[in-house]
Structure 1
Amino acid sequence: MSIPLDNLVITGACGGLGSALAAEALARGAKVALVGLDLATLEALAAPAPGRCAIYTPDVSDSAAMQAMAEDWTGRFGSPDAVIANAGVAGGFDTAQACDLAVFRRILEINLLGVATTFQPFVAPMRERGRGMLAGIASLAGRRGLPGNGAYCASKGGLIRYLESLRAELRPNGVRVCTVSPGYLRTALTAGNRFAMPGLMAPEAAASAILRALSQGQEQLVLPRRLGWLSNALGLLPDAWHDALLLRQPRKPRAGDPGATPIPGLPADATSRAPAAPPESTVH
């Protein structure tokens, strides 16, 4: 099966993977809706192809704003062949800290709810046409909980299940749904990580693989493939062994910690909190 990718909507187009996806799609001659929060980055992306782009800066969890974006894009350029819900944030999480609950909520709003609000305006038109591709950028972290990273893992695990549900719903209508599960990409979201990142991949390589998979109508993509095999192998370990192995790794930086990436829309007091207990204290 060959799916045209001449008209795309890409959220998170300011980030490493989103920028790479947009740049490659534009280089191929596609029309691209650039959705993100950094206006300067989006303008730089659009500069080489001003007649084939439109820039939008909504909060992806705001359904009214996303509806308005979809209506404007469709009115100007027509219905998209594919919608890539790529917007996402990451941050460490400590359940013992009350202020971290705001971090959990915001990560879920962007990483999980944001995908549904991105897709929603396009589902009915795609059903009516009997074709289209909806792609959600999940993560291998959604397959297994990681100590100190519960909010992110929960958001991506929930996303994987949501995409499975949507795939089954839309299959009779000819609309494809693809779950993309990258491992570690060399982007701002991983720049502050202090733990090992096997299979670290350049966003440009990931973008090429994703667009190729979508054009072929694939429903599952793991990047890189060998990391998916490693994840499956680790999943066969007893839980106690798996947990002990992961507890030896440094934790993901929490909001406000050195190396943490900003989380848009996070209340200011979410970064004013007591320090978490060092993870070493839980290792025996």
Structure 2
Amino acid sequence: MNVVLSGACGGLGQALARQLVAHGAQVALVGLDVDRLQALADTAPGRCAIYTPDVADGDAVQAMAHDWMARAGTPDLVIANAGVAGGYDTAQAEDLQVFRRMLEINLLGAATLFQPFVAPMRAQRKGALVGVASIAGWRGMPGNGAYCASKAGLIRYLESLRAELRGSGLTVHTVSPGYIRTPLTAGNRFVMPGLLEADEAARQLLQGVAARRAHIVLPRRIGWLSRALACLPASLHDRILLAQPRKPRAGEAGATPIPGLSPGHAPAASPAPSISDLAHERPPQR
């Protein structure tokens, strides 16, 4: 199997990469932490390559895609897993930069990753495109507007893409995790029902893709809980959520870093496109 995986440095991404290489896949590992990616590549010499583009940078992602397909051929599976999370306060002007960057990574990043692969995959009339959204995209949550908006947008984008590719031989999968034990949830100060370990979440995700399920909720029971809460009157639902602690904003204690932001929240300059093959051996041509 030929796989392209973004967000391969994070908890879920690392778990997905480990399971994919354990099953003999060739994997393009896309992320920003070269040391973490190198450790993964070392477990499968000759079957992995490392790429470090900004996933929202179209030119850099195009370069990555062309290089990988020249090495390993057209992918069978593309997983848009790169994502960032953080609290958001509309009253704070500097948080607008956080909102913009979150949309770039969580929403635009998925479309940018898929784009160079759709035509080649359609030509071979097989393959799967997977977008990792969130149950946070099902309903807005106080103090989490940027993240919820980015994931809700991703869910609708994937819905549109699924309709466009119907009959093409390609499948499109929307993954909506609840809470997974990763660095993104480490700073959460609220109750996280149904918390999954990353390895189990990765197993369920890949199992759902293999079963050709269009919508994959991790774990399924968190989807049932979210749907039950959605049946409550909006005022009561909001009151319950308002009673929970807020997710830390960028720069606050417990916040997870958002790549591309300076400490003052101003976006840093985009990194130059970088293509690094650190796996020592070239994946075989198909």
Coarse TM-score class (shorter-chain normalised): over 0.9
Partner secondary structure for residue 190 of structure 1: helix
Equivalence for 1:196: 191
Which of 36, 54, 71 in structure 2 is aligned with 1:41? Answer: 36
1:111-150 equivalence runs, <5 A: 111-150=106-145
Amino acid corresponding to residue 126 of structure 1 in structure 2: M
Structure 2 residue 155 is matched with structure 1 residue 167: no
1:258-269 equivalence runs, <5 A: 258-269=253-264
Amino acid corresponding to residue 182 of structure 2 in structure 1: T
* Deviation at residue 171 of structure 1 after TM alignment: 0.9
1:183-262 equivalence runs, <5 A: 183-262=178-257
Q: Distance in 1 between matches of 2:229 and 2:184?
A: 23
Which of 74, 89, 92 in structure 2 is aligned with 1:97? Answer: 92
* Deviation at residue 216 of structure 1 after TM alignment: 1.9
Equivalence for 1:276: none
Partner secondary structure for residue 189 of structure 2: coil
Q: Distance in 1 between matches of 2:127 and 2:247?
A: 36
Q: Distance in 2 between matches of 1:148 and 1:64?
A: 33
* Deviation at residue 217 of structure 1 after TM alignment: 1.6
Partner secondary structure for residue 268 of structure 1: coil
Equivalence for 1:109: 104
* Deviation at residue 64 of structure 1 after TM alignment: 0.6
> 4+ runs of 1 displaced by more than 4 Å?
none
* Deviation at residue 174 of structure 1 after TM alignment: 1.3
Aligned residues: 266
Q: Distance in 1 between matches of 2:56 and 2:162?
A: 21
* Deviation at residue 130 of structure 1 after TM alignment: 1.1
* Deviation at residue 172 of structure 1 after TM alignment: 2.0
* Deviation at residue 215 of structure 1 after TM alignment: 1.6
Higher mean alpha-carbon deviation, 262-271 vs 33-42, is at 262-271
Amino acid corresponding to residue 136 of structure 1 in structure 2: G
Amino acid corresponding to residue 55 of structure 1 in structure 2: I
Q: Distance in 1 between matches of 2:233 and 2:101?
A: 32
Q: Residue 140 of structure 1 contacts residue 181 of structure 1 at CA under 8 Å; is this kept in 2?
A: yes
Partner secondary structure for residue 172 of structure 1: coil
Q: Residue 251 of structure 2 contacts residue 263 of structure 2 at CA under 8 Å; is this kept in 1?
A: no
Amino acid corresponding to residue 40 of structure 1 in structure 2: D
* Deviation at residue 141 of structure 1 after TM alignment: 0.3
* Deviation at residue 227 of structure 1 after TM alignment: 0.5
* Deviation at residue 267 of structure 1 after TM alignment: 3.4
Equivalence for 1:275: none
Please list every run of 5 or more consecutive structure 2 residues that lacks an aligned counterpart in the other structure.
267-286
* Deviation at residue 76 of structure 1 after TM alignment: 0.3
Q: Residue 102 of structure 1 contacts residue 267 of structure 1 at CA under 8 Å; is this kept in 2?
A: no
Partner secondary structure for residue 166 of structure 2: helix
Amino acid corresponding to residue 49 of structure 1 in structure 2: A
Amino acid corresponding to residue 239 of structure 1 in structure 2: A
Q: Distance in 2 between matches of 1:65 and 1:107?
A: 18
Amino acid corresponding to residue 250 of structure 2 in structure 1: A
1:52-67 equivalence runs, <5 A: 52-67=47-62
The C-alpha deviation readout for 1:203-238, integer Å capped at 9, x for no partner, is 000101111111222211001101100000000111
* Deviation at residue 38 of structure 1 after TM alignment: 0.0
Which of 144, 152, 161 in structure 2 is aligned with 1:157? Answer: 152
Q: Give the structure-1-normalised TM-score.
A: 0.93
Partner secondary structure for residue 104 of structure 1: helix
The C-alpha deviation readout for 1:63-117, integer Å capped at 9, x for no partner, is 1110011111100011110100000000000000000000000000000000000
Q: Distance in 2 between matches of 1:269 and 1:262?
A: 12
Q: Distance in 2 between matches of 1:215 and 1:121?
A: 23
